[in-house]
Structure 1
């Protein structure tokens, strides 16, 4: 698999694998940590989902500036190392049980990812610009993407074991260590990078950095503050009278306006020969926002589904193995008293007032009567964050099959174009939501827990869509971007991911507002279906742009 690819691929593959080990370990436990009443921050579902959405949105917002700085000033190597070290420190700090320290840690991860993420993806693309590797670019990004998911698969087992055995702090420390190893691996491959890591410098016609700060960054901060301060109409479900659901969401959306304007100006001010390329990329960026809005529910709403609505009891050999590896914990069955719980399953209601309690999770609340154990007996349930390994597990299994499928089509000269792959990726992702709608009905709208196989099936289908879309997105940015703004356009790809991530947080924060959970998933289905229709409508024009520029 490796012999027909640049030697640098293996080092970038392993570096990204360890980086994702750290990131996805952290993401897998982040909302669970925020909601933990006893040793976390006792946040409600809405509070945790809102912070999660803002966090992962900003994580993918900063590549806009990180790519720009690497392109013009410090090059890719320094950016990747700097970003990796910042994230490592951020993960180490994240487990310190102090809200101020948590925000500092999140800031380090947000800024660090801005330097790391777009530049390692751009650096990979630089090696495939050589003539002998050009036809292998899509395959190279698929292999690279598999590295991401090996890290994403393994990390949750470490996260679960460390959290159960030692606590949240040690799990976050493991994430920091993984990121540090990723930096070391990247540096070990230096001799294979040649001049590919060097900065491109300021090109003729580029907007000076001082103007970007003055016209883009400063306005973003100002707009963000305005968004935070402006109030909408107060209601029973909008108590803080925000416009888009929360003050942080308002601030983020307003802050995006100057950056979106900047990317639009790239198109209008571009040279004639580059205008269509930039326009094609911007249209793709706009469409995939809706994909990320649904896909990133894996760390919020789908984690909640795994935690509350999935039968996680294990017995026999599985129980023995999981207990010995500290991947499961024991819960004791007690008959529920007259104390009532709201839909968050962990917040008591006393005299009509919600009171946070350490007496949770109420795992047995929606276990059918015939499956409840005897009073005082214990059962073993696997750690919730292990559900985060289902998606990367599918990626590891399916990536070779998808690569082989497209290689077969290429040999018969029938391989679809990159935009066509993205369109089919959206269609397949849309179908995955129907599985969760069926799961809701099978579980009687949450009145009974359902098999974990519903989650496995959902992730399996959406993973196929992901493999058609996400690595192809990285590839098409590398193919279509004008050379002097490649990292900047890669930042644009991550900006679309950022906006989608924030929309995902907004969707997840509305979970408890849906009495019938199928309606929540129907909204997701509609969003993805809309994106699919748009993308298929654009495919013909996008294919023509690529053909006119001699790109496969």
Structure 2
């Protein structure tokens, strides 16, 4: 056997692949479990009311910080990749990243302002060290077996999707049903399990991923050939200066953007104006312009073939930005759409069918993954007992949570209840609970009142449209009431947990029984200009009634009717992406291997068309939601369709993208082009948050459907562009398919 051969890894195999691949499989699975599980809850936590133990942020603020977080996760991969390649090696990079993410999730579980932000910081840098280096280890294992590489990556990415699937399903369920800390905390626990099982099995990788050796001058000289990109083109001082300025402006803007919005301008690095343009816009446009200038300077310096292929990559990166900006509406605007505008309570036969399907979706994949664990244990227990024991313990816990979830949903029912509201009138509502009650039984409910200013003269105002669209319960028994009120005082109040101040007012009014009441409402900047102490206004008060799991006796209600039902969590819909990937990936793989395999531009055209069809589906579903409506009751079928089409789009764009980079540029330039690629993805992630922010203002003025139609139009335009330019880019790629 040759000294550098990787045949040693094939002495112990599972399903025909090295056991080491499955150590990576489970490590990656638990990392994706924690990442996607936490991410599914983030925007919901920020926007949940204080009564629901959230921070009560406006959706725009939550989406701003979400966009910055996901963007920085991708930017940090460049830092993590550099340290792995040059300083600590792949293996230690994975360990450092996993440890930082474990700490990050632990911080998130504490839910205070300091620890939430500290946790997000740990998660950003942890992902940067972890994410790019797992695939590098896989690549090294199969260095001498290239014919088995495709199969290896297929298995590895099954681990990615399995982790995302179970993370969103279980962390989301715990977070929504029990408490946010449970969702955040369980994500950290399983990240720790992934770290420990990797650490105790690290010797299975031999010398792979240890501290890198510096490349000699002779090796560098030998790597420079016509086929490998021709002569070296080191960056000039001017080019390095452009990179530094552009990077500084871009990073400070990404960090400053949510801070300026959340503090409503009180903290803003770029509060200046230039020619009437906001300073933040000036900064980011300058950073992007400098980057484009850099590309114009650099690309012409390469030999024609490399130059043409780099132009093709830049074009694909441009489309990729918008692809991810639309695709990543999933944990943002689409999850909020699921929470606020989707009828998630299924009763009777439809509820029973969902319970059965969801139980199978939970148990069957878990059983398959457990079978893989048993196969790995048979091969590696003698040498790596500690790793297998930790992994087995993690599966025992995950099985416990899964069975509890299925049992909880099995006993779930909807109860029609009567209760006395805060105005002293009897209300009827429906609540969903897994506890068993009979007619006449007493139960504790929470009546979350939503109080907003209702200006009867304002066109499309929140009160007016809410009256038409808010569904108090399935039978639409009680929508809300309007009261004449007077502002007694205006004050600022510290936002619990968020560390900012918001404007509030105490208003006085008479309820339906003529009794004097007061309420605290939030005031916008526009409200402050319009209303002063003593101003007359109208209040619109709606109710959101839910079962009081903590039995805090906010309101006591009497059960009058019962029916089998289940309430689907807002995060549940996100698992459809992983489910559809596992189901559809083999079909798309067959397509790519057939004579009908589209060109690179063709795949992008198909992908953007499919993502446009998905957003069109949810646009159609949202068409009945009037401008300004806070809640509605849209069928779940529209969200199922959007995830189906978006997953097919992802299968056209995401897996092929990195493959084309490795084929299009010389080996010594791959790191730089991957950097550009991840920069494009990072910009797309930030755009996703910005698009989501825009959806809120647009929903108030023209309706939420308009927002999704705009995304549809962007997708179709880019699809047509990719289709029409296919011949040009086929020429630019010089034979690469």
Shorter chain as denominator, the TM-score bin is 0.7 to 0.9
User: What whole-Å deviation, never above 9, does each CA across 1:285-309 have from its counterpart, x for those lacking one?
Assistant: 1111000010000011101110011
Match status 1:518 vs 2:705: yes
**CA 108–367 in structure 1, closer or farther in 2 if over 3 Å, else same:** same
Of 157-166 and 173-182, deviating more is 157-166
Match status 1:15 vs 2:27: yes
Residue 607 of structure 2 is matched in structure 1 by 425
* Structure 1: runs of 5 or more not aligned: 339-344, 353-361
Residue 498 of structure 1 is matched in structure 2 by 682
Match status 1:402 vs 2:588: yes
Residue 459 of structure 2 is matched in structure 1 by none
2:328 aligns to what SS in structure 1? helix
Match status 1:300 vs 2:482: no
Match status 1:393 vs 2:405: no
Determine if contact 1:402/1:467 at 8 Å carries over to the other structure: yes
Determine if contact 2:601/2:729 at 8 Å carries over to the other structure: yes
User: What whole-Å deviation, never above 9, does each CA across 1:502-548 have from its counterpart, x for those lacking one?
Assistant: 11111101222223222101111122123223333443344445554
Determine if contact 1:142/1:399 at 8 Å carries over to the other structure: no
Match status 1:28 vs 2:40: yes
**CA 329–271 in structure 1, closer or farther in 2 if over 3 Å, else same:** farther
User: What whole-Å deviation, never above 9, does each CA across 1:189-240 have from its counterpart, x for those lacking one?
Assistant: 653475477647565758699999976457533565479889xxx9xx9999
Determine if contact 1:329/1:382 at 8 Å carries over to the other structure: no
Give the whole-Å Cα distance in 1 for the aligned partners of 2:191 and 2:711. 33
Give the whole-Å Cα distance in 2 for the aligned partners of 1:211 and 1:77. 36
Query: Number of residue pairs matched?
Result: 524
Residue 359 of structure 1 is matched in structure 2 by none
Match status 1:92 vs 2:106: yes
2:188 aligns to what SS in structure 1? helix
What root-mean-square deviation, in Å, do the aligned CA atoms of Structure 1 and Structure 2 show? 4.4
Alignment of 1:223-262 (within 5 A): 224-225=251-252
Structure with more strand by fraction: 2
Match status 1:366 vs 2:366: no
Match status 1:349 vs 2:432: no
1:51 aligns to what SS in structure 2? helix
1:314 aligns to what SS in structure 2? strand
Residue 120 of structure 1 is matched in structure 2 by 134
Q: CA deviation at 1:81?
A: 2.1
Higher-RCO chain (CA-CA 8 Å, sequence separation at least 6): 1
Alignment of 1:131-530 (within 5 A): 132-133=146-147, 137=150, 141-164=153-176, 166-187=178-199, 188=201, 191-192=204-205, 195=208, 199=212, 201=214, 205=232, 216=243, 220-221=247-248, 224-225=251-252, 267-270=299-302, 274-315=306-347, 317=352, 324-325=407-408, 348-349=451-452, 366-367=470-471, 371-372=475-476, 381-407=567-593, 409=594, 413-441=595-623, 448-514=632-698, 515-530=702-717
Residue 355 of structure 1 is matched in structure 2 by none
TM-score of the two chains, using structure 1 as the length reference: 0.79
Determine if contact 2:626/2:703 at 8 Å carries over to the other structure: no
**CA 69–421 in structure 1, closer or farther in 2 if over 3 Å, else same:** same
Determine if contact 1:224/1:255 at 8 Å carries over to the other structure: no
Of 10-19 and 320-329, deviating more is 320-329
Q: CA deviation at 1:113?
A: 1.5
TM-score of the two chains, using structure 2 as the length reference: 0.61
Q: CA deviation at 1:366?
A: 2.9
Q: CA deviation at 1:371?
A: 2.6
Give the whole-Å Cα distance in 2 for the aligned partners of 1:544 and 1:468. 21
Q: CA deviation at 1:490?
A: 2.9
Give the whole-Å Cα distance in 2 for the aligned partners of 1:209 and 1:120. 33
Give the whole-Å Cα distance in 1 for the aligned partners of 2:325 and 2:639. 18
